[in-house]
Structure 1
């Protein structure tokens, strides 16, 4: 019996060690595949190491300045990025932002360059009051919807809008290099709403802007590979959709006093009911004890 217990313990330790080695190997493989993006796995990661909050014009300058050092210098390789459709679907406080994006490459560039590896980087700058759950994005990555995805900024899911900062979703999608000159990307990002501040008409309007799109490619030239990043913020993105608006129900300012009074009265009545129940229970217990004696 003792010998069997020792063997079981030994197998358990060996299994733990093998699992640990496998995770280390996977992490090295994953991080090495993003090594061309610099010292960071995500583009947005470097921004939030420099800045505490998301400011749109600062983020755009960061993309233009920080990413441009490895951007495209070949004029023939100028992809055209266009947003075909954007839609917010679902009901209530949990919805999904669906997007359909097309990436087109000049056929002349394809005839001169050999694409070894390409992927798209989609950066959604979420408006105030909206957040994405990192665990849901991880689940989508495990299902193969994204090759990688993460949330940056304020990831505290319990904070109300007035106390939370904005957040950013960065998702990576692998592209098939055998495709001729057009890539069509269709994906959705699950979103949730925070508790909005009080308003005058019972609703708070949340508006979504266009995402930032980057195309990252390893291109073979002169028996070597050259990494190119094309950023949509430099040349603009063609789009054919109206602004997406999410009308979120919120409290009304003029109802504040009435709600406060009703809440206070309810709390007093509840406390009094609990007190009476405790007194009644103690009297019943004393009466039953004296009756039994």
Structure 2
């Protein structure tokens, strides 16, 4: 088990087209993270969407390793006609930090219902599930879920 897992999500850029940067730092209880793979299951709320065609293009260029889990979803539907979706992302080890992984995911805002007053709409992005597998020459599998 890990003594500490720090999860940080940053939304980069402004406007309707943004990038989600997910950073995960593990405590010192895992001896060799070089043998580990971290899979992030990110839940995308109805106010956002991920374009599966954009993900395919980014995978081809080796920019991200992400795939849509949800099927039959309409990227053009407004938030009130949408469903939550899920994306699986393999995080890469951070070259700046020995105990860290990071993942990049482009996200886009959906249209919302018009308001009679000017105002802001808040979208809550819940913590993802973290699944890690380490191959250290023995059958060692560890799974974590970051609680919301």
In the superposition, the TM-score normalised over structure 1's length comes to 0.43
| Bigger RCO (CA 8 Å, 6+ sep) | 2
Instruction: Indicate how the Cα distance of structure 1 residues 157 and 90 shifts in structure 2: closer, same or farther if over 3 A, else same.
Output: same
Q: How many angstroms apart in 2 are the aligned matches of 1:138 and 1:198? A: 32
Say which structure is richer in strand: 2
| Alignment of structure 1 residues 74-93 onto 2, 5 Å | 78-79=1-2, 80-83=4-7, 85-93=8-16
Q: Structure 1: 5+ residue runs without aligned partners?
A: 1-77, 238-293
The partner residue of 2:127 within 207, 210, 215 is 210
Deviations 1:152-180 (A, max 9, x none): 2253211121211111111013559xx9x
How many aligned residue pairs are there?
Answer: 144
Deviation at 1:187, TM superposition (A): 3.1
Say which structure is richer in helix: 1
Larger Rg: 1
In structure 2, the residue matched to 1:188 is: 104
The partner residue of 1:104 within 9, 18, 27 is 27
Deviation at 1:116, TM superposition (A): 8.4
When the two chains are superposed, the root-mean-square deviation of aligned CA atoms in Å is 2.9
In structure 1, the residue matched to 2:49 is: 131
In the superposition, the TM-score normalised over structure 2's length comes to 0.77
| Alignment of structure 1 residues 245-256 onto 2, 5 Å | none
In structure 2, the residue matched to 1:197 is: 113
Whether 1:156 and 2:78 are equivalent positions in the alignment is: no
